[in-house]
Amino acid sequence: MKKKIQLLALSVLLLGACKNGEQTSDAYGNFEVTETIVSSEAAGKLLAMEVKQGDKIETGQTIAVIDTIELVLKKEQTMAQLSASETKKQNVTAQINVLKEQKNNVLTTQKRISKMFSEQAATQQQMDDINGQVNVIDKQISSTNTQFQLIASEMKVIKRQMDLLDEQLTKCRIKSPISGTILETYLETGELATPGKPILKMADLSNLELKVYVSGAQLPKVKLGNEVKVLIDSSNKEMQPLKGKISWISSEAEFTPKIIQTKEERVKLMYALKVMVPNDGTLKIGMPGEVVF
Please write the tens of the pLDDT for every residue from 151-201. 999 999 999 999 999 999 999 999 999 999 999 999 999 999 999 999 999
CA angle (113 as vertex; 107, 115 as ends), nearest 5: 105
Are the C-beta atoms of 58 and 205 separated by less than 8 Å? no
pTM of the model: 0.68
Q: What is the pLDDT of residues 117-162, one digit of tens each?
A: 888 888 899 999 999 999 999 999 999 999 999 999 999 999 999 9
The pLDDT, as a whole number, for residue 24 is 75
Q: Domain 25-37+204-292 maps to which CATH number in 3.40.50.970, 2.60.40.10, 3.30.497.10, 2.40.30.170?
A: 2.40.30.170
Do 207 and 244 form a contact (C-beta atoms < 8 A)?
A: no
The CATH class, in words, for 38-68+173-203 is mainly beta
**Radius of gyration of the chain, Cα coordinates, nearest whole angstrom:** 41
- The ranges assigned to domains in the chain are 25-37+204-292, 38-68+173-203, 69-169
Q: What is the mean pLDDT of residues 79-103?
A: 94
Q: Is the pLDDT of residue 15 over 60?
A: no
107 pLDDT exceeds 50? yes
pLDDT of residue 2: 37
Instruction: Report CA-CA distances (Å) from 155 to 74, 147, 149, 185, 276.
Output: 16, 12, 10, 43, 55
Identical topology for domains 25-37+204-292 and 38-68+173-203: no
Name the average pLDDT for the chain: 87
**How far is the CA of 160 from the CAs of 10, 81, 153, in angstroms?**
85, 12, 11
Whether pLDDT at 14 is above 60: no
What value does the mean pLDDT take over residues 31-41?
96
> CA 154, 159, 162, 167: dihedral to nearest 10 degrees?
-130
Give 228-275 pLDDT, tens digit per residue.
999 999 877 788 999 999 999 998 887 655 555 555 555 567 889 999
d(CA 196, CA 38): 9
Q: Give the separation between CA 50 and CA 237, rounded to whole angstroms.
A: 40
